Structure 1
Amino acid sequence: MTHYIIPKIISSAVLVAFLFSCEKGGQDTVVSVVERIDTTATNAHYISNRAPLKPSALIKLPVGSVKPEGFLKEYLVRQKNGLTGHLGEISAWLQKEDNAWLSKDGEGDWGWEEVPYWLKGYANIGYLLEDQQMIDEAKIWLEGTMNSQRADGNFGPKHFDGDNQDFWANMIMLYCLQSYYEYSNDEKVLDLMTKYFKFQLTVPDEHFLNGYWQKLRGGDNLRSVFWLYNRTGEPFLLELAEKLHRNTSDWVGRDHDLEDIHNYYEVRDGGEVPDWYRDQIDWHNVNHAQAFREPAQYYLLSHDDAHLEATYDNFDIIRAHFGQVPGGMFGSDENARPGYADPRQGVETCGMVEQMNSDEHLLRITGDPFWADHAEEVAYNTYPAAVMPDFKSLHYITSPNMALLDAENHAPGIANSGPFLMMNPFSSRCCQHNHSQGWPYFVENLWMATPDNGLVAAIYGPSNVTAKVGDGQEVTIQETTQYPFRGQLAFTIKTAQPTDFPLYLRIPHWTTGATVSVNGKTVKENVKGAGYVKLAREWNSGDKVSLTLPMEIEVKTWEKNSNSFSVSRGPLTYSLKIGEDYIRKESDETAIWDSKWQEGVDTKKWPSWEIRPTTDWNYTLVLDKENPAASLEVEERPWPESNFPFTPENVPIMIKAKGKQMPTWQLDQYGLVGELEDLPATSDQPVEEVTLLPMGAARLRITAFPNLK
C-alpha cells in the first residue's frame, strides 16, 4: 500500500472558518482550518523570499529563536557529552594541525567534508544550549574558514576532482556560516559569500560542478545563493542560480541513459536493469535524500510547477521501489539495488539526517504539512535507533528488520562489505561526522514565522520559541508535551502587552479528529486531514492553547513487499520487543578500513558494541487488520526520570499483542533476517503474548511483519 498521499496543487484556500467568543477579557478568536497558510502578505520581521522568487510559504527563524525542552533538550545534551561534543578531540579529520580548513592558502592534509559535516551540528548545539565553550570552539573553525578567502573570492581547502575544483565541501560549510550569521549577525559572512559567489560565476560551465558528489548535490549551493539574495538583493546571484541549476545533475528528467547514472549499481541474480531504474539520475541513498529536492528549490526562481512536481515525484519513485517499509526511509543500504527491497535492507545514518533536512527545506518552500509529518516519521522512528543511547557510537546501516548487530561482513546481503551493522564511534567517516546535524536542525524548525506576521507550530516536540509577531511585539510561546508518545500539547503565551497575531497549529494527516481549546474553551473539534488550524486573536500573557491529537492504532499493509504489515499509532510505528545483549568490542580492532583517529587517542574510552538478541525474534502478529484495536492493547507507562524515552527500559508506551513464531524464519547465510518472500503463509505454532515498542527505541527490531493467511 502506498500511504504517501502527496497533494499536487498548492492551495491557500480557507476550508472552513468559525468565530468563537473566549471568556478571557471578552476577546473573540477567529478560528479557521486551512490547507496552506496564505502567502499574499510578506512577513515584516523576518527575511523572506525577494521577488522574483516565489513568496515564502513559511519562514525559518534565526538560530536560537527556538529552544529545546524535555527529551529534545536531553538529546542535545547527550550529543554534547557524546560523540558530537568530542569528535574534535578524537577524529583525525578534525585535528587542527595541518588542517586545510584552518589554512590561509587552503593547503593541508586534512580538509574535505568531515569538518563542515560535524560543524553543522556541533556549532548549532552550542547556540541552542547557549554553551559558550562549544560556541568558542566552533568559532575557531568559522574564523579560520573566513580567513582562508583568497583574492579571487575562493575559500576553503584546495580540493580537486580531476582537473576541476570540488565545490562540494564548501557547500556544507556555507550552512555553517549562515547559521553563525543568524546567531551573531557577523557581516563578514555576507562579504565572504558575495565574493565567493562572484568567483563561482567566473568558472566556465565545463569546469563547474564537474564531478560526482558536487554535480548531484548542487541544490545545496543553490539554497545558499537564495539565502544571500534574500539578504542583499544582488542581481548577479540570480544569474548564478541559473548556472547552478544548469550544471546540477538532472533531478527533473526521467528515462535517463544508464551511462548517466553514475552510482554503483547491480541487479539481483544478473537480471536486466528494469525500465523504472532510469527514472532517477542517482540511487545512492544520501545523494537522493538530500538532492531530490533540487527541482523544488529551483522552482522558487523558475515558477514552473513541473519543477515542484519533480521533487514530489522523486520522493515517490524511490519509495515505490525501495520504500515499501515502515519508518519513512527506503532500503538502499548505500546504493539501492534492483531486487533488494526487503525490510532487512537499510539506509545510512547520513541518509536519515539529510532526509530530515530536506523535509524541513520543503516545508518552508511549499507550506505542505506532508513534509512536517515525514520529518517526524524519520526523526521519531528510524533515526533514534541508529545511535547508542549515550550518543557515543552509531552504526552505518539501519533497517526496519534487524535482529543482530555484529562486527561481521554481511555483504552481499547488504550492499556494503565490512562491519557496517555494529555500533562504532569511528565508522564510517561520513556518518561519524554528519549525524550531528539531525537533532539541532530538527529543533530549529519546530516553529516558523508565517507571511502574515504570525507563528506556526510546524513540527511538534517540547520547546519554546521567542519571536516578533503582529506589529513587532516579541512573544514567547512555551510548548509542553510528551509528543510523539502522547497526543496532548499545551501552549502558553507570554507577552509584555496584549498583541494581535495569528497562531497556527499543524494538523497531521494521521489524526482521527483534533480538538483545539483556548483558555479552557473548545473552539474547534473533529479536525481531520493534513492542514493547519489558525487562531487569530489579541493574545494576553498567560493565555493557554491546548491541542489534542487522538492517536488510533493503524495497520499498514505493504503489498509490494510480500503483503507484510506494520503497526502504527499516531506518529509512531511499533516494533517487536527483542531482548538486547550489548557486547563491548575494541574500536581499533573492528572499525572499517578508512577509520582514522588522532594520534594518542585512547580508543578504549570509545568502545564499539555488538548487540545480540537474547529472546526469539521470528514472530509475526495475529490480529484483526480490519479492527486492529480489538487485538492490540495500548499500555501507557510513567515518563522516564532520565527524560530519555528511546530505550526499551524507558519507553512511556507499549502495545500488547498476540503473535506466532515462524520457525523457518531465521538468519540467512549472510547473518541477516531472512527475506519475507521466502516465508510460508501459515504457521502451526501456538499463539503467544508479545510486546511492541516504539520503533525508535528498538535497536534490535522486527517492524515489518510477515503476512499469514
Structure 2
Amino acid sequence: MPEYHELTGDQRAIQLVRRFLDYADSVREPENLAVFSSKWSGVLLSAGIWYYNQTGDADVLALLQRCTKRSIDDFENYFRNFPKDPKAFAEMCDFVPHYCDAKGKAGEPAYEGQTPIGRHGFTAVMALSYPAFHSLISGDRSESESVVQGMANLDQTYGQVGGRWGADGWFVSTDPIVGSETCAVAQSFFSLENIVAVMGNVEVADRIEQLIFNAFPGACTADMWARQFYQQSNQVLVSVAKRPWNSPGTDAGNIYGFKPCYPGPLADVHAPWPRYVASMWMATADEGLAAMSYGPCRVNGKIGKGAPIELAVETDYPFSDRVRVTVRCKEPVRFPLHFRIPKWSSQAEVSVSGNATPWRPQSGTMLKVDREWKDGDVVTLNFNFKIRTETRDNNAVAVAWGPLFFVLRIGVAFERIPTLTAYRTDELPVSAPLGCVDWHIAPTTDWNYALSIDRNNPQCEMIFNKISSMPFAQKGEPVRAPGSNEYLPSQNDVPMLLRVKAKLVPQWGMNGANAAPVPMSPVKTNQPETVVELIPYGCSRLRIAEFPTV
C-alpha cells in the first residue's frame, strides 16, 4: 500500500493501512499471536511508521508497541545472544513453530530425514527489519545496530557465497550443496532496503548488491521465465531427484520451472528488480540525496526548499567499476550528495566536472560532497575493483570482483521436461501459461577443477563483452524473447569473464544428485594444468562457486 500510494496518490491506501493496523491490534492476544508473529513484526512496523509519517497520528505508535512488544525480547536473543550450537539455537528460536504436518508436533521431525534446527530461513529474512524499525519508536539505537551483528552471526554459521544463508527450509550449514530458497532471497530485499533507509548502513547496502547481482539472477533463467525453489553454490546437475532438503515434497526443488515445488518463487520473483531500482537513491536528513546502490538510472527530486533537480547516472555497474553522475538544475543550488563507497573498492577516486579531488574515500564508508551545483556538473567515481578471494569450508576458495562472484563455466544441456504444476499431494495444480517450460539441465563438460591461484594476490585474465538486453545469459542458452513463446539460443555471451589456471581433480565426483563435498585444500592431482573460464554467478545455471586449490 505505501508503494501503491507513492505511485498513485490514492488516499484509500492510507485508510486501508489504518484498518490493517486496527486489525492487528484486535488479534494481539497470546492465542492469536501466530497471526502477527515475530517474523511479520517488521512488516507491521513498516506500515505503521509510514502511516504515522503520512498522518501524524501519534496514537498509532502506542498501537505498534502493543502489537509487537513480545518481539523485541525474541530478537534480543536472536541478534545479540546468538549461540553457535545448533541445538541451543533451536531452543532459543522456539517462538516460531517448526514446520510439521498434521501428524507432527512442533519441534519434532514431520517426516523421515527432517532435522528440525529451529529457524526457517524465509522467516529470518522477513524478521530482520524488526529491530531497526522498532528503534525509531524506542529511540534505542542499539536495537538497530543489533541487526548487523545478527547478520554476522548468521554468516558465520550458515553463510553462503554472495550474502545469502544456507536454509533449505530450516537453517542448515555453510555447505555449498545446501539449498537456499529463492523466496528468502527475494523477500530479503524488503527487509534489507528498509534497514538501509533507517540506518544508512553501507555494509547492509553491500549485501543488497551481492544478492541482486548473484543469488537472485542465479536462481532464475536469463529471460526470467523460470526459477528455482532452491539454488546451490556448487550446483552441477538440475533435475527432479531426491536431495537432502529439509522440507517435504521438494524432489523438484532445484529445477528451473514455472512453479517448482511450491508457488512461493512464482509469487516473489517480480519484486527484487523494482525494489532495487526504487531504493538506489534515498533522501537524507541534511536535505540531500544518497546513492546507496549503483546502476544506470535517472532520479528526479526536490532539494532544500523545493528546488527541482535531476540526476542522470551512466554506468555499466556491476560489470564496471566506474559511475558517472550528471546534475541537472535550472539554477545553481547548494545541497549534499552522498555516495556509498563499497567495501570491495580499492583506493576509490573521485572527480567533479573533470577536476580531480583530494578525497581518497575509505572503502565501506559514505562520501559526502556538499557544494553549490550548477547545471551539467558531473561527479565521476572510480572504485578500482580488484580480484579478491574468500576462504570457504574445507579451505576452499571463492573468487570475486566488485559485487560479483565468479563461478566455473560448465557446458550445459537443457532438456524440456513436463511442466509439473503440483509436486505435493495436498496442493492444487496451477495451469502454466503458454510457453512456460520446466528445465532439466545436465553438464556436458568437466566441473571438478581445482584452481591454481594465489589467494593473496590472485592473477586472472579479465575479458569484457558487450552487455546485452539479457545481461545474465550465456551464449547458446535457450531464452525466450519478449512477445514470443519460442526459445532460441542466446546470441550474446556474458558481460565479463575471468580466465584462471586450474587442474582436474578426478577423485572429486558426485554424491547422489549433488556434487560431493569440496576436497580439503590444497589437493594433489597429477592432471595437466589448463585454463578455465569463470563467469558471473548470476549468469550460471550450473556452477562451481567454491573451489579446492592445487
TM-score interval w.r.t. the shorter chain? 0.7 to 0.9
Question: Distance between the aligned counterparts of 1:513 and 1:535, measured in 2?
Answer: 17
**Residue-by-residue CA offset, 1:488-520 (whole Å, 9 max, x unaligned):** 111111222222211111111111111111111
Question: Distance between the aligned counterparts of 2:421 and 2:22, measured in 1?
Answer: 47
Name the residue aligned to 1:190: 14
2:191 aligned residue (335, 343, 358): 358
Question: Distance between the aligned counterparts of 2:446 and 2:426, measured in 1?
Answer: 35
Question: Residue 454 and residue 438 in structure 1: after superposition, are their counterparts in 2 closer, same or farther (change >3 A)?
Answer: same
Question: Distance between the aligned counterparts of 2:20 and 2:433, measured in 1?
Answer: 39
Question: Distance between the aligned counterparts of 1:565 and 1:266, measured in 2?
Answer: 36
Name the residue aligned to 2:147: 311
**Residue identity (%):** 28
Q: 2:27·2:33 contact (CA, 8 Å) conserved in 1?
A: no
Q: 1:429·1:594 contact (CA, 8 Å) conserved in 2?
A: no
Shift of 1:353: 1.4
Question: Residue 229 and residue 354 in structure 1: after superposition, are their counterparts in 2 closer, same or farther (change >3 A)?
Answer: same
Note the 1:231-246 alignment, pairs <5 A: 231-246=54-69
Name the residue aligned to 2:268: 434
Name the residue aligned to 2:508: 665
Question: Distance between the aligned counterparts of 1:587 and 1:675, measured in 2?
Answer: 31
Shift of 1:648: 2.5
Name the residue aligned to 1:573: 405
Question: Residue 413 and residue 616 in structure 1: after superposition, are their counterparts in 2 closer, same or farther (change >3 A)?
Answer: farther
Amino acid at match of 1:319: D
Question: Distance between the aligned counterparts of 2:14 and 2:95, measured in 1?
Answer: 36
Question: Distance between the aligned counterparts of 1:589 and 1:286, measured in 2?
Answer: 22
Note the 1:384-533 alignment, pairs <5 A: 384-412=217-245, 417-427=250-260, 428-533=262-367
**Residue-by-residue CA offset, 1:504-544 (whole Å, 9 max, x unaligned):** 11111111111111111112453222112222222222221
Name the residue aligned to 1:210: 34
Q: 2:170·2:246 contact (CA, 8 Å) conserved in 1?
A: no
Question: Residue 342 and residue 204 in structure 1: after superposition, are their counterparts in 2 closer, same or farther (change >3 A)?
Answer: closer
Note the 1:598-637 alignment, pairs <5 A: 601=431, 605-629=435-459, 632-637=460-465
Question: Distance between the aligned counterparts of 1:414 and 1:704, measured in 2?
Answer: 25
Q: 2:395·2:520 contact (CA, 8 Å) conserved in 1?
A: no
Name the residue aligned to 1:88: none
Q: Verify: 1:336 aligned to 2:168, yes or no.
A: no
Question: Residue 362 and residue 432 in structure 1: after superposition, are their counterparts in 2 closer, same or farther (change >3 A)?
Answer: same
Shift of 1:262: 2.5
2:206 aligned residue (330, 349, 373): 373
Question: Distance between the aligned counterparts of 1:411 and 1:593, measured in 2?
Answer: 20
Q: Verify: 1:653 aligned to 2:496, yes or no.
A: yes
Structure whose residues are more often helix by fraction: 1
Q: 2:38·2:68 contact (CA, 8 Å) conserved in 1?
A: no
Amino acid at match of 1:243: R
Question: Residue 238 and residue 199 in structure 1: after superposition, are their counterparts in 2 closer, same or farther (change >3 A)?
Answer: same
Question: Distance between the aligned counterparts of 1:290 and 1:389, measured in 2?
Answer: 26
Shift of 1:260: 4.1
Secondary structure of the corresponding residue to residue 587 of structure 1: coil
Amino acid at match of 1:179: E
**Which ranges in structure 1 are unaligned for 5 or more consecutive residues?**
1-176
**Residue-by-residue CA offset, 1:73-101 (whole Å, 9 max, x unaligned):** xxxxxxxxxxxxxxxxxxxxxxxxxxxxx
Count of aligned pairs: 510
Name the residue aligned to 1:300: 136
Name the residue aligned to 2:483: none
Question: Distance between the aligned counterparts of 1:200 and 1:341, measured in 2?
Answer: 37
**Residue-by-residue CA offset, 1:387-445 (whole Å, 9 max, x unaligned):** 11121111100111101111223235988632111011122211110121111111100
Question: Distance between the aligned counterparts of 1:332 and 1:602, measured in 2?
Answer: 27
Question: Distance between the aligned counterparts of 1:651 and 1:228, measured in 2?
Answer: 44
Question: Distance between the aligned counterparts of 2:248 and 2:449, measured in 1?
Answer: 26
Q: 2:413·2:444 contact (CA, 8 Å) conserved in 1?
A: yes
Question: Distance between the aligned counterparts of 2:210 and 2:358, measured in 1?
Answer: 26
Shift of 1:228: 0.5
**Residue-by-residue CA offset, 1:582-613 (whole Å, 9 max, x unaligned):** 11112137855566555xx5656222111111
Shift of 1:209: 2.5
Shift of 1:328: 0.9
Amino acid at match of 1:658: K
1:227 aligned residue (50, 58, 65): 50
Q: 1:205·1:247 contact (CA, 8 Å) conserved in 2?
A: no
Shift of 1:230: 1.3
Q: 2:168·2:245 contact (CA, 8 Å) conserved in 1?
A: no
Shift of 1:187: 1.3
Question: Residue 602 and residue 194 in structure 1: after superposition, are their counterparts in 2 closer, same or farther (change >3 A)?
Answer: closer
Question: Distance between the aligned counterparts of 1:415 and 1:208, measured in 2?
Answer: 27
Question: Residue 223 and residue 328 in structure 1: after superposition, are their counterparts in 2 closer, same or farther (change >3 A)?
Answer: same
Question: Residue 402 and residue 320 in structure 1: after superposition, are their counterparts in 2 closer, same or farther (change >3 A)?
Answer: same
**Residue-by-residue CA offset, 1:154-204 (whole Å, 9 max, x unaligned):** xxxxxxxxxxxxxxxxxxxxxxx1111111111112122223423433445
Amino acid at match of 1:216: K
Q: What is the root-mean-square deviation of aligned Cα atoms in Å?
A: 2.6
**Residue-by-residue CA offset, 1:328-371 (whole Å, 9 max, x unaligned):** 1111112123xx43111121111111222222111111111111
Question: Residue 308 and residue 416 in structure 1: after superposition, are their counterparts in 2 closer, same or farther (change >3 A)?
Answer: farther
Q: 1:460·1:483 contact (CA, 8 Å) conserved in 2?
A: yes
Shift of 1:680: 8.1
Amino acid at match of 2:366: Y
Note the 1:244-263 alignment, pairs <5 A: 244-248=67-71, 250-253=74-77, 254=81, 257=91, 259-260=94-95, 262-263=97-98
Question: Distance between the aligned counterparts of 1:510 and 1:345, measured in 2?
Answer: 26
Question: Distance between the aligned counterparts of 1:595 and 1:603, measured in 2?
Answer: 18
TM-score by length of 1: 0.68
Q: 2:258·2:438 contact (CA, 8 Å) conserved in 1?
A: yes
Name the residue aligned to 1:286: 122
Question: Residue 643 and residue 525 in structure 1: after superposition, are their counterparts in 2 closer, same or farther (change >3 A)?
Answer: farther
Amino acid at match of 2:495: P
Question: Distance between the aligned counterparts of 2:206 and 2:108, measured in 1?
Answer: 33
Question: Residue 200 and residue 689 in structure 1: after superposition, are their counterparts in 2 closer, same or farther (change >3 A)?
Answer: closer
Identify the range of structure 1 (677-686 vs 289-298) with the bigger mean alpha-carbon deviation.
677-686
Question: Residue 380 and residue 208 in structure 1: after superposition, are their counterparts in 2 closer, same or farther (change >3 A)?
Answer: same
Identify the range of structure 1 (588-597 vs 432-441) with the bigger mean alpha-carbon deviation.
588-597
Question: Distance between the aligned counterparts of 1:230 and 1:469, measured in 2?
Answer: 19
**Which ranges in structure 2 are unaligned for 5 or more consecutive residues?**
82-87, 100-106, 476-492
Q: 2:21·2:44 contact (CA, 8 Å) conserved in 1?
A: no
Amino acid at match of 2:396: S
Q: 1:580·1:613 contact (CA, 8 Å) conserved in 2?
A: yes
Question: Residue 489 and residue 679 in structure 1: after superposition, are their counterparts in 2 closer, same or farther (change >3 A)?
Answer: closer
Shift of 1:313: 2.5
Identify the range of structure 1 (490-499 vs 522-531) with the bigger mean alpha-carbon deviation.
522-531
Question: Residue 552 and residue 679 in structure 1: after superposition, are their counterparts in 2 closer, same or farther (change >3 A)?
Answer: closer
Amino acid at match of 1:307: E
Secondary structure of the corresponding residue to residue 394 of structure 2: coil
Q: 2:158·2:165 contact (CA, 8 Å) conserved in 1?
A: yes
Identify the range of structure 1 (381-390 vs 407-416) with the bigger mean alpha-carbon deviation.
407-416
Question: Residue 413 and residue 210 in structure 1: after superposition, are their counterparts in 2 closer, same or farther (change >3 A)?
Answer: closer
Secondary structure of the corresponding residue to residue 381 of structure 2: strand
Question: Distance between the aligned counterparts of 1:534 and 1:401, measured in 2?
Answer: 40
